[in-house]
Amino acid sequence: MRSPNTPKPIKTGDTLEITRTLARAFADDPMMLWLFPDEEGRADRLAQWFDVMLTHKYAPLGHCERTDAAAAFWTPPGTVEQHPDEETLARINGLLGENMARLGEMLELVGKETPQEPHWYLAVLGADPAAQGNGHGAALLLSGLAKADAAGLPTHLESSKETNIGFYERFGFTVRGEIHVPGGGPTLWSMWREAR
């Protein structure tokens, strides 16, 4: 019998469940609270945000997996990011409204700090709060790390939640630096793990 923690590829029919799971997982994330400051309707906007990220960015370009209560989006090295089409930009603008400039500023800062050497990038890892502590995130993290290790490549991520740093450190990540987003934005911890 398959464990509920066994990673499996995300399929098109999983999108609604996954985006709602990630909305719950990131409901208290400082970056998401800064990008979506209005509490009313935030859960729905977060689910739509992760729908855009999954369907228009990471599913076509990266490696996306799930368990029964969590999801992870990775991109391998050499991934050429496509600029969003007009429809996708309109969706993002509709979700962020006047906070669209915040997203641009944050992405510019992160881009300047992104390591230049080839690496696997963990863009999103989130577990439903009701299932946290049951190994879902760890299973997905280990699955992606195994792929990076098999390729002999390091792994990079940014965490906007300081309490998650210890979790990543248990898997060999170290903090390489801090990115301070201006205008009342959050701090991002840039983390790195050498291949094993």
Q: Measured in Å, how far apart are the chain's first and last C-alpha atoms?
A: 30
The structural domains of the chain, ordered by start, are 8-193 (3.40.630.30)
Q: Rounded distance, CA 68 to CA 47, Å?
A: 17
Distances (CA, A) of 20 to 16, 72, 129, 141: 6, 14, 12, 20
List the pLDDT tens digit at each of the 196 positions of the chain: 456 789 999 998 999 999 999 999 999 999 999 999 999 999 999 999 999 999 988 988 888 999 999 999 999 998 766 677 888 889 999 999 999 999 988 989 898 889 999 999 999 999 999 999 999 999 999 999 999 999 999 999 999 999 999 999 999 999 999 999 988 899 999 999 999 9
**pTM reported for the whole predicted model:** 0.93
Q: Can you tell me which residue has the tokens 């969706």?
A: 91
Query: What's residue 134's pLDDT?
Result: 93
